[in-house]
Amino acid sequence: MISHLDGRVSAVAPEGAVIEVGGVGLLVQCTPGTLATLRPGERARVATSLVVREDALTLFGFAADDERDVFELLQTASGVGPRLALAMLAVFTPDALRRAVAAEDVTALTRVPGIGRKGAQRIVLELAGRLGPPGVAGGRAQQGQLAAAGSGLPGAEPWRDQVRAGLLNLGWQAREADQAIAAVAADVQAASGAGGSNDGDPTGGGANGDGGQNGDGGGADGARAEVDVAAMLRAALRKLSRA
């Protein structure tokens, strides 16, 4: 098994990235949140999971080992393959998934494209107690990312294109994606105008386990902006699920 890749990012596309290791370019399928952390020409490390099929060897990449571990655990549930597991991690953070399963929140799980109510019930039943308890940092970091995103939100900011590409890859129509992105941008701007101090996720995601207390939003501005794309994508998906 290939546990991780450490090399130069050769290319980044909406569905994956090419990472050069030892002169070999390896195609890695990633969530939009992970892709947002990769920059062509820069060195990167991604945790990986190799899925072997009769007709293909597919490498999936993740920003953290925890995401990779949850990805592999999700596939032990009936009817959950690598593509669906990746879609689940595009919609939820690992800790949000743990909370949804622990709380038997079937409605939250059905927000993932490809998961119906019966499928969500089966996932809850089969994964109960196997994903482990959620950590404290996940929810706080998510809230900090959304609050931080309110500082400087120009109309042509790159996160919009990245989130749009992620939504299209998950099966949403372009018009629906644009409407969701506009709604998320408005919510973040409103939260920023209030000083980033709110009781839950400014996009209304607190009930789904993504919200929490405000974090520090620390770190370099460039790195913080990269992480914000994942938070924006999840916020847009919540908007779409309520439409």
Average pLDDT for runs of 10 along the chain of length 243: 90 88 93 87 94 89 93 92 92 91 92 91 90 60 42 52 75 77 80 53 43 41 50 80 67
Q: Please tell me the distance from the alpha carbon of residue 102 to that of residue 105, in angstroms, as a whole number.
A: 8
In this structure, are residues 65 and 35 in contact, taking their beta carbons and an 8 Å threshold? no
Instruction: Check residue 218 and give its pLDDT.
Output: 44
Instruction: Check residue 4 and give its pLDDT.
Output: 92
Return the sign of the alpha-carbon dihedral for residues 61, 242, 209, 103. Answer: negative
Exposed/middle/buried for residue 50 (C-beta within 10 Å: 0-12, 13-18, 19+): exposed
Instruction: Check residue 128 and give its pLDDT.
Output: 86
Instruction: Check residue 231 and give its pLDDT.
Output: 78
